[in-house]
Chain A
């Protein structure tokens, strides 16, 4: 009878098995398509299925309602479990894996216990019909078409992004976390989004005195950044960085050093 019971509870045993596989994958993998596929059931299916098995024994609800409850209870477990766990722990990978695995395995155990001894005269369950091959092929084709549509839309969005040709220039005081600082050290940087490799000339001057000039060859999508030599800077005065291309200035940014005296009253 025990063996028969195990056969009748194959769904729950499978649930526990897949949950354990998910835990292993979550612990040893840092991501990737396979990991995602292996972990999706742990997020969307397993906790809810196990809970629905506890709350609604077999054949008390239809398969379609159980499917809805499987997804909804899985999502509810994460939302509510996360809310409770955040009071006592930091929500991170291990916390979520522990939550989902614990709920799934505990609910599976309770459901298995609830099914014990209930298989003396089980009514035979109707075999699940298989979808016709035409539907399977059409579904595959439809998924393929949806993939093609997303690929087309992605290509269009990328093309639109690539059509925007511009260069970014920055001169920003480094350091300080609470307030925007206005003191050295300063970083000056360039980002090229011109769609091709570009030769730039960057000059930095303070009150007319040249601090430095750099010739920078930057590939498309690349950035260049350097810290200005502190020993060349005066503690006060306006610092201006000008970016030249084809012999003319294309960007200019400026920072006034030493402006900070004391915080003014904020009214």
Chain B
């Protein structure tokens, strides 16, 4: 029982022992050694102010915007990384620092737009939460993201907070994700501390985890994964406690089991990918643990299961091993897939993974060349940024062979260490996926899981480095390591986001967050008050998420009878095929943004990745294509704000077709 309480070496055990020995006078209560925490709290705050100023400068296209932004990030991350590397920081200080780092970097995402969610994922979650608040029920359909209705965990929590406090969805969502982020940092710290056995290693590991390309924006957004990572991390933490060799009382065994069941259930209904990734990891861990036991038996070594790891359910005597958590998570995720979310999950993830696999096969067999790295359809990174991004992956790649050698050669390395090193081995593969257009998303979405393995290796290896005894040399080495960590952190952000996506700024075509404009918001407000909800609407992606969330309309995608619906927007003239799409797909409204002709879409497509001409266009849409919907042609132009017009298709869809032969 005591093992769950006992902190690792170098922590506060002596203090607790002294207190238990009867030192109860106030003067005997030791102050927590928080070292540089006050200073680093202030530098983190200053970094946030720099980023806010940089973002404002970017909105006005003023000089120095990028410099302020990057300097702000470095001011938040660098000093905290340095202190986490230092051997002199106390455990309490390290915990405070990782929570400060996680919270400050979460606020960087809030500073991007502190007034509203940008498209795409966050508005999909907004719509789902709005559905819970307005209907009082879960699982309402979501035209923005097909897979969202089947995983209502985050929406239920946000709706509960919103209902109870009166906060709107935006503010409630920020609080939920902010609390989840701060708790995730503590969870990761405890997890790595339990695995590696050192508070310093844990702090270093968390700092390296923050270098994953999804950490700054994607996993700070109002999305399922941001919450599920906390649930998955907690489950892993409980599983590590579960397999500890120490004897547990029946009550504590039951407590751990019950906690694992509750957290696993919550994770299962919150996010598919996290459940599947954790399931895969636990299965791998269970297999390696089983092989380990088998190897002992084959060698004739008498390494019997420690008696402390035995427990009983009824009359059955069992051993606490990773098998039970693996079976639990796999069964829950599989059951939820089969009975609830299979169709929607397949619809959402199927295209992502099949696209990635297809593009990798075509790349390998010469069907297509690699994509140009660090370049979007209408923008690219500077040479310096590209060099920084390339340089940032080198330290991480270097960790892997070193870590594998250490974890697989060491006699005392357990199955958990080996499983985590195998996870880290996936990192080069995910980098390879970035050579293809479709694989980039898979790579991005895998990073938050793969970096758990890299964080473990970094914790293990860097903590094990022998620091010089001379103070100056030691400080220089720590500064160098912190510098490399900061470079890795900044490089990862370059890898994950193109320049226009990093900071706010003027309107851009097809650029998700940068495509949100007051005109789009005004059109969405009009739709919510004047148009029937869930009306089927043909619209570009950015306005589609605004209209699909705040406007309550349903954006129509895909194809009908083999004709892609997006083609209606692209041709210079309105043709018979376009009319068929509108009639057959029962499209009630067509929304046209006249600004689409200004430039190529940043994302590479106007409506959806599968549209005709996606990623291959060399010229933007013509003005004629956007002005081909006259009232005489069967379109009622019911709304206009200059940039955006909404056309009702009623006359077109319900007019009597001319008899054959009529001129």
**A-B CB contact pairs (8 Å), 23 listed:** A40-B161, A43-B164, A56-B259, A64-B186, A64-B190, A76-B231, A76-B266, A93-B164, A132-B31, A141-B42, A152-B56, A158-B115, A164-B518, A170-B640, A173-B648, A176-B532, A191-B526, A240-B631, A250-B642, A255-B638, A256-B634, A262-B656, A264-B653
Summed over the interface, the residue pairs from A and B with CB atoms below 8 Å come to a total of 367
The complex places the Cα of A158 from the Cα of B114 at a distance, in Å, of 10
Interface check B619, CB cutoff 8 A: no
The complex places the Cα of A79 from the Cα of B22 at a distance, in Å, of 44
Q: Are A261 and B526 in contact (CB under 8 A)?
A: no
List chain B residues, Cβ under 8 A from A95.
Answer: 136
Known: A71-B179, A135-B37, A145-B49. A130 touches B31 (CB 8 A): yes
Known: A124-B20, A138-B39. A161 touches B654 (CB 8 A): no
* Closest-CB distance, A92 to chain B (whole angstroms): 5
Contact of B114 among A43, A59, A157, A251 (CB under 8 A): A157
Q: Are A168 and B532 in contact (CB under 8 A)?
A: no
Q: Are B45 and A259 in contact (CB under 8 A)?
A: no
Known: A42-B164, A96-B164, A126-B20. A79 touches B650 (CB 8 A): no
List chain A residues, Cβ under 8 A from B19.
Answer: 124, 126-127
List chain A residues, Cβ under 8 A from B190.
Answer: 64-65, 68
Binary CB contact string for chain A from 36 to 67 against chain B (1 if under 8 A, 0 otherwise): 10011011100000011011110111101101
Q: Are A78 and B231 in contact (CB under 8 A)?
A: no
The complex places the Cα of A145 from the Cα of B164 at a distance, in Å, of 29
Known: A36-B165, A72-B234, A76-B231. A157 touches B269 (CB 8 A): no
Interface segment, one of B277-285, B383-391, B581-589: B581-589
Interface check B475, CB cutoff 8 A: no
Binary CB contact string for chain B from 634 to 657 against chain A (1 if under 8 A, 0 otherwise): 101111111100001111011111
Q: Are A179 and B51 in contact (CB under 8 A)?
A: no
Interface check A150, CB cutoff 8 A: yes
Interface check A229, CB cutoff 8 A: no
The complex places the Cα of A72 from the Cα of B157 at a distance, in Å, of 12
How many A residues touch the partner, as a band? Answer: 35 or more
* Closest-CB distance, A3 to chain B (whole angstroms): 20
Contact of B41 among A73, A142, A154, A193 (CB under 8 A): A142
* Closest-CB distance, A78 to chain B (whole angstroms): 5
Contact of B183 among A29, A71, A142, A143 (CB under 8 A): A71
Q: Are A67 and B186 in contact (CB under 8 A)?
A: yes
Q: Are A264 and B654 in contact (CB under 8 A)?
A: yes
Known: A68-B190, A124-B19, A182-B636. A75 touches B180 (CB 8 A): yes
Interface check A226, CB cutoff 8 A: no
* Closest-CB distance, B284 to chain A (whole angstroms): 24
Interface check A9, CB cutoff 8 A: no
Binary CB contact string for chain A from 79 to 114 against chain B (1 if under 8 A, 0 otherwise): 110110010011111011100100000000000000
Known: A138-B41, A153-B114. A60 touches B518 (CB 8 A): no
The complex places the Cα of A85 from the Cα of B71 at a distance, in Å, of 48
Interface check B357, CB cutoff 8 A: no
Interface check B32, CB cutoff 8 A: yes
Q: Are B636 and A254 in contact (CB under 8 A)?
A: yes
Interface check B4, CB cutoff 8 A: yes
Known: A129-B31, A179-B650. A264 touches B16 (CB 8 A): no
Known: A75-B180, A153-B114, A264-B656. A141 touches B251 (CB 8 A): no
* Closest-CB distance, A118 to chain B (whole angstroms): 11
Contact of A60 among B115, B252, B530, B649 (CB under 8 A): B252
Q: Interface on B for A, CB 8 Å cutoff?
A: 1, 4-5, 7, 15-16, 19-20, 22, 24, 26, 29-32, 34, 37-39, 41-42, 44-46, 48-49, 51-53, 55-56, 59-60, 95, 100, 104, 107, 110-115, 132, 136-138, 152-154, 156-157, 159-161, 163-167, 175-176, 179-180, 183, 186-187, 190, 227, 230-231, 234, 237, 241, 249, 251-252, 254-256, 258-259, 262-263, 265-266, 269-270, 504, 506, 517-519, 522-523, 526, 530-532, 535, 561, 580, 583-584, 586, 588-589, 631-632, 634, 636-643, 648-651, 653-657
Interface check A260, CB cutoff 8 A: yes
List chain A residues, Cβ under 8 A from B249.
Answer: 60
Q: Interface on A for B, CB 8 Å cutoff?
A: 26, 29-32, 35-36, 39-40, 42-44, 51-52, 54-57, 59-62, 64-65, 67-69, 71-73, 75-76, 78-80, 82-83, 86, 89-93, 95-97, 100, 123-124, 126-127, 129-132, 134-135, 137-139, 141-146, 148-150, 152-161, 164, 166-173, 176-182, 187, 191, 193, 238, 240, 250-256, 259-264, 266-267
The complex places the Cα of A92 from the Cα of B4 at a distance, in Å, of 39
Select from chain B the residue with minimum beta-carbon distance to A89: B136
* Closest-CB distance, B175 to chain A (whole angstroms): 8
Select from chain A the residue with minimum beta-carbon distance to B15: A126
Select from chain B the residue with minimum beta-carbon distance to A250: B642
The complex places the Cα of A26 from the Cα of B161 at a distance, in Å, of 11
List chain B residues, Cβ under 8 A from A138.
Answer: 37-39, 41-42
* Closest-CB distance, B187 to chain A (whole angstroms): 5
Known: A57-B251, A253-B638. A78 touches B111 (CB 8 A): no
* Closest-CB distance, A104 to chain B (whole angstroms): 13
Q: Are B588 and A179 in contact (CB under 8 A)?
A: yes
Contact of B631 among A75, A82, A132, A254 (CB under 8 A): A254
List chain B residues, Cβ under 8 A from A193.
Answer: 518, 522
Q: Are A129 and B111 in contact (CB under 8 A)?
A: no
Select from chain B the residue with minimum beta-carbon distance to A175: B532
Q: Are A172 and B639 in contact (CB under 8 A)?
A: yes
* Closest-CB distance, B295 to chain A (whole angstroms): 32
Q: Are A159 and B59 in contact (CB under 8 A)?
A: yes
List chain A residues, Cβ under 8 A from B104.
Answer: 146
The complex places the Cα of A28 from the Cα of B558 at a distance, in Å, of 48
List chain B residues, Cβ under 8 A from A65.
Answer: 4, 190, 237, 241
Contact of A82 among B15, B138, B258 (CB under 8 A): B138
Select from chain A the residue with minimum beta-carbon distance to B100: A142
Q: Are B531 and A90 in contact (CB under 8 A)?
A: no
